[in-house]
Amino acid sequence: MSRSMRLVSRRDFLRLSAAVTGVGLLAACAPQPAAPAAETGQDAAAAPDQAKPHLIWTGWNALEWYEPVAAQFMVENPDIEVEYRQLSDYKQQITLLAAGEQCDVIVTRDDDKAGFASAGFIRPVGEEEGVQALVDDLYPANLQAMSYEGNLFGLPYYTDFHTIHYNSKLLEQAGFTEPPATLDELKNVCLEIKNQGIVDYPLYFWLYQESNFKEPMYSLVYGSKGEWVDDNWEPICDQPGSVVEQILDWMAQAMNDWKIVDSASLEMLDADVTELLQNGQTVFASGNRYDLRTLNDPEQTAQAVAGERVFRPMLMPGFEGAGQGAVAWTRQYTVNTTAVDPEAAFRLQYFAGGKNKDGEYWVAKQWHERFGLGFAYKSLATDPQIVEGENAWGDPELFAQQKETAVSRKGVDAPWYSEWDNAMQAEWHKAMLGQISSAEATKAMADKWRELKTNYDAG
């Protein structure tokens, strides 16, 4: 059966996801008594004694991120109540959906969109009023990332790419005025920094096996124009001398031979690595574009200096040069097919991922102002508030240059992607620890992909 005709059952989706979740139901998202749903805002106004729909909005970010957004939505939509509930891990969303827990509007990762859509957990929104105007303003790559089999399922939370950041003052202290452009140059600069005793480990990546591990991995591979699968979703990473294999070799040497990367990185989250860079304990650190907002804020980073950009981004280095590739993603808001009030849930999705009642991208702009998160709408690129912010803490010209080659992960639309990604991370770890060769790791990655694809096609 063709991929376009195959529909994953919920049982199949749970089987594919079992290795990823490994968690029980989240107590905080226990079912709530369903309130009678108001069909429209006008109906609610006509029947004030009718209970408001109570929407549950789930995501992995902290309450202090989302509560102001939920509060503003309720100001503009007084006929709807919204409660944001934070998941301790994004993977718990799969268990909640499969168990039928109330989760009306869902903060969704690219990894899970295809699986959620195939299993029937989320509904298309492309035909809803006002969506086409949003679509016309979306960057094509972001539109593609929120679509599945011709239908639009998500509206954007944010989009960004992954590269390496550096402490410009420490780099200058070592005698360098420009960041390295290739991985070989990065190795040599790090060795010189280490030899001078400026820091013990000049380069850190967050490599703990969890959701964000994939970002440094993919950017390293894409920076050298490599890939795990081809356009037909057939594995190519196990071909002799593949870029994935070469990157694994480079990382293993950086950690075990050159000792420019701390093996403790294997247990580090993104926040751990960012803190090391903030405190001057490393010179180069794996990072997302938006991390510069925090890094160059003196109120959040002791090493930052008001009016200066101490921390700077660099084009992702590769074997042949800089800026040839990086991984990009589109986090998104989706609506559960079992939402207690689909119309109310869509209004929240449209507000969060689109425009407010004044026709402004209110949420996207406050995400950028508060946290530096990237935006998926073309018109925001020239918004004065956006431009002023990026000039203060970032490098808009470099951002634009890297965006030209930053791409979404190939194969992420495969419903089995999440389970494969989890297995692939484990093989990456084994190779860096020297437990297996890089060639053995890439073969295991490819074999796992073929196994999951075969199981999926067999139904």
Tokens 């780099």 map to which residue?
A: 171
User: pLDDT at residue 89 above 80?
Assistant: no
pLDDT band at 50 (very low <50, low <70, confident <90, very high): low
Q: CB 43: neighbour CB atoms within 10 A?
A: 13
Q: Which domain holds residue 75?
A: 10-159+330-407
Q: Is residue 1 part of a domain?
A: no
Amino acid residing at 147:
S
* Chain-centroid distance, C-alpha 123: 21
Q: Does position 29 have pLDDT exceeding 80, yes or no?
A: no
- Rounded percentage of the chain residues whose pLDDT exceeds 70: 88
Whether the predicted pLDDT of 5 surpasses 50: no
Tell me, yes or no, whether 203 lies in a domain.
yes
**Average pLDDT, stretch 395-409?**
92
119 and 28 in one domain? Answer: yes
Q: What is the pLDDT of residue 60?
A: 92
In this structure, is residue 320 part of a structural domain? yes
Token duo for residue 410: 């190939």
How far apart are alpha carbons 393 and 370 in whole angstroms?
A: 12
| Confidence at 419, pLDDT banded by 50, 70, 90 | confident
Q: How confident is the model over 334-359, as a mean pLDDT?
A: 97
Domain assignment present for 4: no
Residue with tokens 């079912």: 31
194 and 315 both lie in a single domain: yes
Are residue 155 and residue 166 in the same domain, yes or no? no
pLDDT at position 1 = 32
Strand runs labelled E in 346-444:
406-407
Is residue 415 over pLDDT 90? no
Same domain, 149 and 14: yes
Percent of the chain with pLDDT over 90: 78
Task: Assess whether 319 and 338 both reside in one domain.
Answer: no
- Report whether pLDDT(417) > 80: yes
Domain presence at residue 3: no
pLDDT above 70 (res 124): yes
Which domain CATH number covers 273?
Answer: 3.40.190.10
pLDDT on residue 349: 98
Q: Residue 149 falls within a domain, yes or no?
A: yes
Contacts of 430 (CB under 8 A, 6+ apart): 436, 441
Strands 155-167 and 311-314, by their bridges, are: antiparallel
Residue 174: closest CA among 157, 191, 162, 160: 191
Rounded CA-CA distance 428/421 in Å is 10
Cα distance between residue 215 and residue 190, in whole Å: 21
Are residues 264 and 123 part of one domain? no
Q: Which residues contact 140 (CB under 8 A, 6 or more apart)?
A: none
Q: Is 202:193 a contact under the CB 8 Å cutoff?
A: yes
Query: Average pLDDT in the 415-422 region?
Result: 88
Instruction: Give the pLDDT confidence score for residue 11 in this predicted structure.
Output: 46
User: Does pLDDT of 27 surpass 50?
Assistant: no
Residue 258 sits at the vertex; the CA angle it makes with 252 and 259, to the nearest 5 degrees, is 85
Residue-level pLDDT at 25: 31
Q: Is residue 171 part of a domain?
A: yes
Helix %, strand %, coil % for the chain, to 5?
45, 15, 40
- Is residue 333 within 8 Å of residue 57, measured between CB atoms? no
| Domain contains 194 | yes
Q: Is the pLDDT of residue 92 over 90?
A: no
Q: What's the mean per-residue pLDDT of the chain? A: 89
Judgement on whether residues 378 and 443 belong to the same structural domain of the protein = no
Q: What is the mean pLDDT of residues 192-202?
A: 98
Q: Per-residue pLDDT for 190 more than 70?
A: yes
136 and 253 together in one domain: no
CA distance 20 to 420: 9
Whole-number Cα distances in Å, 422 to 274, 289, 414? 23, 24, 14
State the pTM of this model. 0.84
Residue 115 sits in the same domain as residue 140: yes
Looking at the structure of the chain, the number of domains it has is: 2
